[in-house]
Amino acid sequence: MAALSFGFAWGFGAILFGLSVDRLGVSVANSLVIGLSSALGSLVPLIVQGTIGFEPRQLVLFLGVATFLAGVCLCGAAGTMRDAKASGVVARSRVGYLFAAGAGIMSAVFNVGYSLALPIADTGVRLGSPLFLATNCIWLLMLAAGSVPNLAFCGYLLARNGSWKLFPDASPHRTWGFSVLMGLLWGASIFLYGAATPLLGKIGPSIGWPLSLAIALVVANGMGLWLGEWRSSPVAAVRKMRLGILTLLGAIVLCAISSAM
């Protein structure tokens, strides 16, 4: 039941994330959502499982999470400076912040549900299934449950706005192709996460969650710099983004040290 219920709740988090981006912009929404998700997704499983403590390994993990949050704040501030330069004003609203907070909490629920559903994978291993395939049983339940609110909300918007008529008009081979590719890549990352976290020990999900989010942010922001998205941005914004990436790299090192202890 944990996989289904937490997966269903995560589906609403994905909806709230989209609504927060619409009101706050990508930079601010991403910073708030990923910051909350990383902290809660790492610490809550430790609390729920009763394994939270102050042993050296966990202290290094806590330092890594704090460093990650600092890096997220720097990247978010840099993105805000860039967006303000491009559009003149970055629109914000209280509702947008509420949506972002809800999305961050619900995104963390995804990792909490996964950590609580690990006995499903253990059962699969005892029955002779490889660990990678056994963890996929968890994702089957969680992602299926999470798709329900997403499909319902998208269907509602398509019907309300009549936007379903636009699908054939926007180079379907290109848009559908990239959409399918994006889904395959995201799915592959989730499956690899499920296979990797058991190898990190008893607190694997608490280490793997901030580690995976930090690497995702480094790659995304690094690609943005490489592709020239920051070419016309203020020098201060570029410097802050580079400092944020370096801080995230520091968080990755700390999480890796924690996993090796």
The total of structural domains in the chain comes to: 1
Dist. CA 134–CA 191, nearest whole Å: 10
CA of residue 219 relative to chain centroid, distance: 13
Contact 194, 135 (CB under 8 A): yes
Write the DSSP string, 82-123. HHHHHHS-----HHHHHHHHHHHHHHHHHHHHHHHTHHHHHH
The reported pLDDT for the residue numbered 92 is: 54
User: What was the pLDDT predicted at 88?
Assistant: 47
> Which of 107, 97, 76 shows the shortest CA–CA distance to 19?
97
Neighbours of 22 (CB within 10 A): 13
End-to-end CA distance of the chain: 33
The CA distance from 49 to 64, in Å, is 20
Higher-confidence residue of 56 and 9: namely: 9
Q: Which residues of 78-91 are buried (b: 16+ CB within 10 A; e: fewer)?
A: bbbbbbbeeeeebe
Alpha-carbon distance of 69 to 65, in angstroms, equals 6
What is the number of H-type helices and E-type strands within the chain? 9, 0
Quote the pLDDT of residue 17: 85
| Span 46-92, pLDDT tens digits | 776 666 667 777 787 788 778 877 887 887 777 777 766 655 444 45
Half-sphere exposure of 43 (CA within 13 A, CB side): 15
User: What whole-number distance in Å separates Cα of residue 258 and Cα of residue 248?
Assistant: 15
pLDDT of residue 170 exceeding 70? no
> What average pLDDT does this structure show over 185-212?
77
Task: State the helix-helix crossing angle for 94-116 and 2-24, rounded to 10 degrees.
Answer: 160
Give the dihedral sign, CA 235/237/238/240. Answer: positive
Nearest alpha carbon to residue 34 among 114, 111, 110, 108: 108
Range of the domain at 176: 2-260
Mean pLDDT of 20-28: 73
Place of tokens 């949050």: 69
* 109-147 tens-digit pLDDT: 887 888 788 788 778 777 777 777 777 788 888 888 888
Question: CA-to-CA distance for 192 and 185, rounded, in angstroms?
Answer: 11
Amino acid letter, residue 239 = R
